[in-house]
Amino acid sequence: MPAVGNSVARKDGIGKATGSAQYADDISFPDMIHGRTIRSTIPRGRVKSIRFDFDRAGFTIVDYRDIIGRNSVDLIEKDQPFLVETEVRHMAEPILLLAHEDRERLNAAHVEIEYEEQKPLFDPEQSTEVFKKIDIVKGDVASALAAADIVVEGTYRTGHQEHVYIEPNGVIAVPEEVEGRKGVAIFGSVQCPFYVIKALRCLFGEHPPIRVIQTETGGGFGGKEEYPSMIAGHAALLALKSGRPVKIIYDRTEDMVATTKRHPSIVRHRTGVMRDGHIVAMDIDVLMDGGAYVTLSPVVLSRGCIHAAGPYRCDNVNIRGRTVFTNTPPNGAFRGFGAPQTQFAVEVHMERIAEALGMDSVALRRVNALRSGDTTATGQTLREDTSAIMVLDEAVRRTDFLRKREQYKGTNRALGLSLFYHGAGFTGSGELHLKSRARLELTTTGVRIATGSTEIGQGTRTTHAQIVSDALGIPYEDVEVAQPDTARVADSGPTVASRTCMVVGKILEKCAIEMRLRLNGLTPAQYHAKHGAFSVEQMYEPPDWIKWDDAAYRGDAYATYGWGCDVAEIEVNPDTFEVRPLKLTAVQEFGRPIHPALAQGQIEGGTAQGLGYALLERVVMRNGAMANSQLTNYTIPTTLDMPEVDVVMMENPYPGGPFGAKGLGELPMDGPAPAVVNALRHLGLDVREVPATPELIASCTAAA
């Protein structure tokens, strides 16, 4: 029986269910002390003075002057400091680090900081500091708009979203000696150990040996993609100065206030459409609030803009994107990475276009949905693995959408639909630039996978082992997966962008094929006994047909796309305006599932996060920081908030993926918010933003 395509026993073992799995805060080292971050209490200004109002005996204190390399978190730009020098650009910006072995003394230490305050900028629409501009041009939008039968305009907004991984950020930095040189090992809850290496190299220079080891990670969702570089740098600074292991674990409030969130967006559509439903022009303006430093905003904007026209064909498209500075904690990666924002906008806009035409919105989508051979906004010609119509048809059929929607008219129940897609892997030439590698090592009993890809609950260990098992032709039980330790594994690129199974899995497949040839019929045990160990390392080769022009933003944006159609069935309480989701149907095509149960879990979980985004999760900003920074006040869905989720996994293999698999992790995030808001529209509620809170819905209805 092949491993791929079956829900085999997971490589995680039973530790997560017995409590023995080791997350960062479960681990201790001899002589370990605790670290704390002293953060700014103003959103903009300069530090005038710092005074320590406590007995400093036993404390390690670090400020920017302790940095021997460069005080920059090296990501896309080097604009974000690890520690404030004088200029403060956001609330909760790290200024100083303290460490002590006694946590009470550590927490009681009072640092008095005097600031010269300046007027902060919070409104992205007022911001003139642009981190990145993108302009996607196809055809002639101006003429097409002029020639259109009608033009429909609309502005749509999405707010911040907080990841709420149930395990907050945490790391332990442990000084270690490597070949006589003083170095440091970082153990921590991270998605991208090699990103942390890159950032620490900048912070410390080339000299100290540094390695990063991923501990069992209690959720990431993008919130541990780039942020851990900051906390790891802090812990390392304290560890190297004190000579002792330093543990920094954020409590929930600090994590919510100080770390990254999903970029808020404002998206404006002007769409030219003909009476028969053909969309002839799409003019789209995308604005994203990046917060105080660049971090990953350019790439979030990029993905958002590329998906902004939705899964639709149109000969004339202009998408203008900007991501701008505000004096708020920097926003960053969050599952979906720009696409949930822009696809929310386009899918709600599609309903309004249908209304304006007097046309059924399913029919409107059917007319305009992308098919094989069509070109996207960036001019990419879609290949056979294009499934917009397939998922749309299935979702409509399965939910009896047309009949039920009609039946619900005049009641307080409604159905809403969203059609969406999600590019898998890094954009354009991104995968080429990453030069991701994977390594397979022969052992005495089988093989060991040595990649930098991290298990964060999505099934990395298991799906990689399944792919190797089948490609190599050895039992699944004989494949082990090394814990990601940057000193011992290949740099497979970050665990993000729905690439871990599709891209890194593909490299592993290549490794397995090469190893199989070399084994030449022997089992690994036999080969090892006869010839000893060997390893195979390969680099990712993107499909040779991918052509992408980064300057013009044209060409093949992604090697392949996942496709989805969600239908939300909801009920609105006429007294309280609360929305009760009754059922959510998620039809998703992602090549084919490597592990069906894990894949279903991705869809069910992503759908829950999407429902939270749609209805429940609101970040309240006051004076440039999250005011509702407790789980009491930032509300993610509980069991009682979740409706039945009906998952349909459809197949349309991607030839470039391992065993036909495409990326999946982010696709489910794009569908729920527009599906829910489109259901509200069918109740006559003109909602154009999320979260669609009861307060917002109440304001959409006239007082009785």
Partner 1 sequence: MRTAISELEVRSAASLGEALTILRDDQRTPIAGATDLYVALNFGTLEPRRFLDIWPVNELREISMKGATLSIGALATYTSLIRSPFVASRLPMLVEASRQVGGPQIQNRGTLGGNVANASPAGDSLPVLAAVDAVVVLRSADAERRVPITKFYTGYRATVMRSNELIVAIEVPPVEGRQWFRKVGTRAAQAISKIVVAGVRAEVPRIAFGSVAPTVVRVPETERSLAAGATIEEAAQVLSREITPIDDLRSTAEYRMRVATNLLRRFWIETG
Partner 2 sequence: MKFVLNGASTEVNAHPMARLLDVLREECGLTGTKEGCGEGECGACTVLVDGEPVCSCLIPVTQVESADVVTIEGLGDDHPLQHLFMNEVGAQCGICTPGMIMAAIALGPTPTLDDVKTALAGNLCRCTGYSAIYRAVLKWRGIPDATASAVP
**Chain residues in the site for partner 2 (CB under 8 A):** 7, 9-10, 12-23, 25-26, 163-168, 216-221, 251-252, 456-459, 593, 596-601, 604-609, 630-632, 636-640, 642, 644-647, 649
Residue with smaller CB distance to partner 1, 341 or 693 = 693
Residue with smaller CB distance to partner 1, 58 or 243 = 58
Q: What tokens appear for 497 in the block?
A: 């962008």
Q: What tokens appear for 386 in the block?
A: 């294009």
When CB distances are held under 5 to 8 angstroms depending on the partner's kind, the choice from partner 2, partner 1, none that residue 593 binds is partner 2
Burial readout 330-358 (b: 16 or more C-beta within 10 A, e: otherwise):
bbbbbbbbbbbbbbbbbbbbbbbbbeebe
When CB distances are held under 5 to 8 angstroms depending on the partner's kind, the choice from partner 2, partner 1, none that residue 599 binds is partner 2
Residue with smaller CB distance to partner 2, 380 or 600 = 600
d(CA 41, CA 44): 9
Which of these segments, 75-83, 379-387, 513-521, 693-701, binds partner 1 (CB under 8 A)? 693-701
Token pair 């527009």 is found at 674
For residue 394, the surrounding DSSP H or E stretch is: helix 388-398
Asked if 704 touches partner 1 (CB under 8 A), the answer is yes
Q: What tokens appear for 204 in the block?
A: 């410390």
Q: Which of residues 638-667 bind partner 1 (CB under 8 A)?
A: 638-641
When CB distances are held under 5 to 8 angstroms depending on the partner's kind, the choice from partner 2, partner 1, none that residue 616 binds is partner 1
Q: Which of 353, 274, 286, 328 is nearest to 120 (CA)?
A: 328
Residue with smaller CB distance to partner 2, 462 or 560 = 462
When CB distances are held under 5 to 8 angstroms depending on the partner's kind, the choice from partner 2, partner 1, none that residue 457 binds is partner 2
CB atoms within 10 A of CB 685: 20
Asked if 574 touches partner 1 (CB under 8 A), the answer is yes
CA within 13 Å, CB half, 366: 12
Q: Write the interaction track for partner 1 spanning residues 194-233; mark x where CB under 8 A is met and - where it is not.
A: ----------------------------------------
When CB distances are held under 5 to 8 angstroms depending on the partner's kind, the choice from partner 2, partner 1, none that residue 609 binds is partner 2
Residue with smaller CB distance to partner 1, 69 or 694 = 694
Residue with smaller CB distance to partner 1, 102 or 153 = 102
- Among 47, 333, 616, 692, indicate the residue that binds partner 1 (CB under 8 A): 616
Residue with smaller CB distance to partner 2, 242 or 607 = 607
Asked if 41 touches partner 1 (CB under 8 A), the answer is no
Please state whether beta strands 317-325 and 279-291 pair in parallel, antiparallel, or not at all (unpaired). parallel
Q: Which of 673, 679, 682 is nearest to 265 (CA)?
A: 673
Q: What tokens appear for 376 in the block?
A: 């996207």
User: Which DSSP state fits 413?
Assistant: E
How far is C-alpha 537 from the chain's CA centre?
28
User: Which DSSP state fits 4?
Assistant: T
- Among 107, 381, 407, 412, indicate the residue that binds partner 1 (CB under 8 A): 107
- State the minimum distance, in angstroms, from the CB of residue 687 to partner 1: 15
Asked if 22 touches partner 1 (CB under 8 A), the answer is no
- Count of helix runs (H) and strand runs (E) in the chain: 18, 28
Q: What tokens appear for 342 in the block?
A: 């822009």
Q: Which CA distances in Å does 620 have to 156, 161, 308, 605, 700?
A: 19, 10, 26, 24, 20
User: Interface with partner 1 by CB under 8 A: which residues?
Assistant: 104, 107-108, 251, 574-578, 616, 620, 627-628, 632-633, 635, 637-641, 694-695, 698-699, 703-704
